[in-house]
């Protein structure tokens, strides 16, 4: 994160007007000292984006990587070995692999994002299973340290500019060096960090960025990965420039949702010179089609030497297109800094125009319409890649959730990568943005404040969360900590309420501090809280926690599998049906967030070994739906729905009772076995239907009806043996930028093309053309197969591979083959694209 002091943050805090959230009013802050605004009638700066004023360069390519050692300095490239002169005794001479002349030619060549933990072997140790079974920690010094080096050149013409490097996320505790010069240490695995490296650059020559990343200690109780798993950026600006995350747009509608929108624009200007600077900020507002709909400029502001100051402007959008779940319209602010009448810096940010509120009696409203929050909680890892997700996978995951009917996403339990929020903005997904550490320590407040400054322009965010199931949540000490966190947060944003995910002590501790009461589970206590505290809005910050394994219909502790009926849950949890019926019946409950949308590595429940992944997801780690996915699909969407399960391959169980479930939102469903009716049942809202069926090979068929007419039919058939491989890419056209990906889903079918629900054939992938396979998976929570590989066994008929484009356009052909199966291939077109500027 930018190296601000707490005093700097208070000094630079953005002023905001009072906001009513539920029934609570948040205090207004002091007005900035700089002159506020000139309206659009004044001359404005050119609205076009001028890339010569500021360069944002992606630093993801061309890195070298090697494991170090937490205990043995020789195996840690002699870092800290010298006893005569301390590691940090002399500036620019930290030793080990930190210097410019260190020979890293034997190190692995990698690109970012990178998670070295996903490549480590599984260690079947009960001390590791909770975090995914990878050897990270004090007992594993040889695999808990990672070294990264990145060479780059800066031209001599950049002398006089300010050069900054930002890390969006490093897991964890990174010591950062440039050209042998120690820059600092970043303890958080989730917060962004930024360094001004202007003084340390070799202008007109080569430079080396070096990091020693220490993943020995964890922050979570789940798989977190290890390494530089988010983007790294290098930014070049003039000495007088807009500070990092310095643009902030607040919108309000003057007369309901059809009236003009008033925009309050603030830009934080940094003067990195030794003299006062008189500057003006010109702002242009571009609508979702890229057309200019407003321009405005500030009055002249004097920025003191080596100081930051806020410049404020007001603008109006006459006919705003509102951001919503259904129509996620995005505007763009382009702000240009003029010094002595000459443009010197320009930065842009997207934002949305919408209204939100949490009401104590009627729940959540967006644009004055009631919206029930139908959310999921999620960690940040995915099959094949661990925690190092390419940007496209963020969109893929949000698309899958929206397809299910979800409209909200909780970032559990940490600040997310910015690209996830971009995906939620563009696809129409509400967000509860959660900080990692519940604390008012300087470090924790710095992380909270950086999250808020970075994320506050995203229209998708409707809630900030400051805590999750904390031991101090119900204490007076916790309340004091919460107040300090609220004060820090509200200095930077008062347009959204704050919540905390609490699993006990409601009405105590931080309950009296936050704006919206968050409930984790415990349905019987929610009505009592509402009766005692009727004026506080409420939300289900974490709900359900049903456990299931895709395609499994009987508990199997030996293999670590859990039946996929909506019946299995830990002692603290609820079934999908129980929690949703409860929340749906209470208008004052704003809705809730299911634990979880996707399975994730670590935290296996109810079984430990052999499991190395959770069972909580509505989808597995690949994104393949489980049956509970279809419960929500049925009741969270509005179109007619019908889902029948289990499969109908039960050889050896002829004549035995099989429990057959059905989800449908039609009036009734009739079930047939091999053409014979087993009876019709009336559908209960938010419920399910069950038949006990004596197994006989053939076909079970469900026919859903409304108003006396059959509306939907679904079958499950006894299949033949595995015979073919079918490939289904999520996209057949991607960009040749070295980053874009396509997810290839693999189905094992019989000769008639029906999925074989028990198939476990090992599938080998061969790629030709302009791309590479970056990961494989199958969603099996007890699988120890490698993620970075070219083969994967199917799990209950499914597996997948992720293909990434190179920087050269051309076709990418993937062939999938397996012994005794008909192979298949698919071609992805990798088209020429304008890549992001890189260094």
CA dist., res. 729 & res. 771, Å (int):
14
From first CA to last CA, the distance across the chain in angstroms is 21
Q: Are the beta carbons of 431 and 539 closer than 8 angstroms?
A: no
> Where are any strands of DSSP class E within 487-536?
498-502, 516-520
CA distances from residue 764 to 651, 778, 816, 827 in whole angstroms, order as listed: 28, 13, 6, 16
Whether 419 sits among the annotated catalytic residues: the reply is: no
CA dist., res. 398 & res. 420, Å (int):
8
Collapsing DSSP states into helix, strand and coil, what is residue 42?
coil
Strand 373-378 to 408-411 pairing: parallel
CA dist., res. 584 & res. 589, Å (int):
8
Our separate counts of H helices and E strands in the chain read 8, 47
Collapsing DSSP states into helix, strand and coil, what is residue 572?
coil
Q: What is the distance, to the nearest Å, from the Cα of residue 674 to the centroid of all Cα atoms in its chain?
A: 45
Q: Are the beta carbons of 517 and 502 closer than 8 angstroms?
A: yes
Closest by Cα among 358, 405, 309 to 630: 405
Number of neighbouring beta carbons within 10 Å of residue 752: 10
Q: Exactly one of 55, 469, 714, 770 is catalytic; name it.
A: 469
Whether 270 sits among the annotated catalytic residues: the reply is: no
Angle at CA of residue 59, ends 774 and 429, nearest 5°: 65
Tokens 């920087």 map to which residue? 807
Q: Are the beta carbons of 145 and 68 closer than 8 angstroms?
A: yes
CA distances from residue 26 to 21, 247, 489, 490, 530 in whole angstroms, order as listed: 8, 22, 11, 8, 22
HSE-up (13 A, CA, CB side) for residue 311: 32
Q: What is the distance, to the nearest Å, from the Cα of residue 543 to the centroid of all Cα atoms in its chain?
A: 19
The neighbouring-strand residues paired with 538 are 517, 589
Instruction: Tell me the H-state helices in 20-148.
Output: none
DSSP 638: -
Q: Exactly one of 194, 268, 312, 542 is catalytic; name it.
A: 542
Q: What is the distance, to the nearest Å, from the Cα of residue 197 to the centroid of all Cα atoms in its chain?
A: 29
CA dist., res. 405 & res. 205, Å (int):
53
Q: Are the beta carbons of 515 and 589 closer than 8 angstroms?
A: no
Collapsing DSSP states into helix, strand and coil, what is residue 473?
coil
E strand or H helix that includes residue 374: strand 373-378
CA dist., res. 829 & res. 813, Å (int):
9
Residue 27, token pair as written in the block = 């205090």
CA dist., res. 475 & res. 432, Å (int):
24
CA distances from residue 3 to 164, 185, 491, 663 in whole angstroms, order as listed: 11, 11, 18, 53
Instruction: Tell me the H-state helices in 199-293.
Output: none
CA dist., res. 583 & res. 523, Å (int):
9
Ordered strands of the 369-370 beta sheet: 356-359, 363-366, 369-370
CA dist., res. 62 & res. 196, Å (int):
22
DSSP 27: P
Q: What is the distance, to the nearest Å, from the Cα of residue 313 to the centroid of all Cα atoms in its chain?
A: 32
Burial annotation 701-733 (CB, 10 A radius, 16+ → b, else e):
bbbbbeeeeeebebebbbbeebbbbebebbeee
Closest by Cα among 340, 325, 279, 331 to 304: 279
| Residues with a known catalytic role | 469, 542
């Amino acid at each position: 994160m930018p190296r601000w002091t707490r005093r700097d943050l208070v000094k630079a805090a953005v002023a905001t007007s009072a906001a009513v959230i539920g029934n609570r009013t948040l205090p207004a802050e002091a007005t900035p000292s700089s002159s506020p605004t000139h309206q659009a009638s004044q001359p404005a700066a050119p609205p076009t984006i001028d890339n010569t004023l500021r360069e944002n360069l992606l630093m993801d390519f061309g890195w070298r990587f090697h494991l170090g050692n937490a205990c043995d300095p020789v195996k840690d490239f002699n870092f800290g070995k010298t006893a005569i002169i301390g590691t940090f005794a002399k500036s620019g001479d930290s030793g080990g692999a930190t210097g410019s002349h260190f020979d890293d030619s034997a190190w692995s060549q990698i690109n970012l994002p990178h998670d070295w933990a996903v490549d480590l072997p599984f260690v079947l140790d009960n001390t590791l299973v909770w975090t995914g079974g990878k050897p990270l920690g004090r007992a594993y010094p040889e695999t808990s340290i990672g070294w990264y080096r990145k060479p780059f050149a800066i031209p001599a013409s950049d002398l006089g500019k300010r050069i900054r490097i930002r890390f969006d996320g490093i897991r964890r505790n990174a010591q950062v060096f440039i050209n042998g010069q120690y820059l600092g240490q970043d303890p958080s695995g989730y917060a962004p960090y930024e360094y001004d490296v202007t003084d340390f650059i070799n202008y007109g020559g080569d430079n080396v960025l070096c990091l020693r990343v220490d993943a020995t200690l964890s922050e979570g109780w789940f798989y977190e990965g290890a390494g530089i798993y988010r983007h790294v950026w290098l930014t070049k600006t003039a000495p007088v420039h807009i500070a990092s995350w310095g643009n902030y747009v607040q919108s309000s509608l003057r007369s309901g949702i059809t009236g003009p929108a008033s925009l309050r624009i603030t830009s934080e200007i940094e003067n990195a010179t030794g003299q006062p600077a008189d500057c003006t900020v010109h702002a242009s507002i571009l609508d979702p089609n890229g057309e200019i709909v407003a321009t405005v400029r500030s009055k002249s502001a004097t920025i003191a030497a080596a100081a930051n100051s806020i410049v404020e402007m007001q603008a109006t959008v006459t006919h705003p297109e509102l951001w919503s779940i259904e129509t996620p319209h995005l505007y763009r602010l382009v702000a240009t800094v003029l010094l002595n009448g000459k443009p010197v810096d320009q930065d842009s940010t997207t934002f949305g125009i919408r209204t939100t509120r949490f009401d104590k009696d009627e729940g959540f409203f967006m644009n004055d319409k009631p919206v029930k929050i139908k959310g999921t909680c999620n960690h940040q890892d995915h099959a094949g890649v661990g925690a190092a997700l390419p940007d496209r996978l963020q969109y893929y995951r949000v698309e899958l959730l929206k397809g299910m009917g979800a409209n909200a996403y909780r970032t559990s339990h940490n600040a997310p990568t910015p690209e996830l929020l971009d995906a939620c903005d563009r696809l129409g997904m509400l967000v509860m943005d959660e900080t990692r550490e519940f604390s008012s320590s300087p470090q924790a407040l710095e992380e909270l404040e950086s999250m808020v400054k970075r994320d506050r322009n995203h229209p998708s965010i409707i809630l900030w969360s400051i805590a999750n199931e904390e031991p101090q949540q119900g204490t007076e000490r916790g309340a004091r900590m919460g107040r300090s966190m609220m004060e820090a947060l509200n200095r930077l944003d008062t347009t959204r309420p704050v919540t905390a995910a609490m699993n006990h002590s409601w009405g105590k501790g931080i309950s009296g501090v936050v704006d919206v009461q968050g409930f984790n589970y415990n349905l019987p206590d929610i009505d009592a809280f509402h009766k005692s505290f009727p004026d506080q809005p409420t939300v289900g910050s974490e709900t359900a926690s049903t456990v299931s394994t895709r395609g499994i219909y009987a508990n199997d502790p030996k293999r670590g599998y859990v039946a996929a009926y909506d019946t299995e849950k830990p002692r603290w949890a609820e079934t999908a049906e129980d929690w949703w019926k409860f929340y749906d019946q209470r208008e004052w409950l704003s809705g809730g967030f299911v634990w979880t949308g996707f399975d994730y590595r670590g935290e296996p429940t109810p079984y430990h070994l052999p499991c190395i992944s959770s069972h909580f997801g509505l989808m597995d780690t690949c994104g393949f739906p489980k049956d509970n996915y279809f419960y929500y699909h049925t009741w969270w969407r509005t179109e007619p729905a019908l889902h029948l399960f289990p499969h109908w391959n039960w050889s050896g169980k002829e004549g035995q009772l099989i429990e057959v479930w059905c989800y449908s939102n039609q009036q009734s469903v009739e079930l047939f076995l091999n053409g014979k009716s087993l009876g019709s049942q009336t559908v209960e809202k938010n419920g399910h239907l069950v038949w006990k069926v004596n197994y006989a090979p053939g076909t079970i068929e469900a026919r859903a009806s409304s108003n006396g007419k059959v509306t939907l039919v679904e079958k499950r058939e006894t299949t033949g043996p595995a015979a073919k491989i079918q490939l289904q890419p999520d996209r057949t056209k991607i960009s040749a930028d070295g980053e874009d990906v396509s997810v290839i889903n693999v189905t094992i079918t019989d000769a008639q093309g029906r999925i074989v629900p028990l198939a476990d054939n090992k599938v080998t992938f061969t790629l030709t053309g302009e791309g590479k396979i970056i990961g494989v998976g199958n969603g099996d929570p007890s699988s120890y197969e490698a993620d970075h590989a070219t083969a994967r066994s199917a799990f209950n008929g499914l597996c997948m591979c992720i293909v990434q484009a190179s920087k050269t356009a051309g076709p990418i052909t993937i062939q999938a083959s397996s012994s005794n199966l008909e192979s298949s291939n698919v071609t992805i077109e990798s088209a020429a694209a304008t890549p992001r500027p890189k260094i």
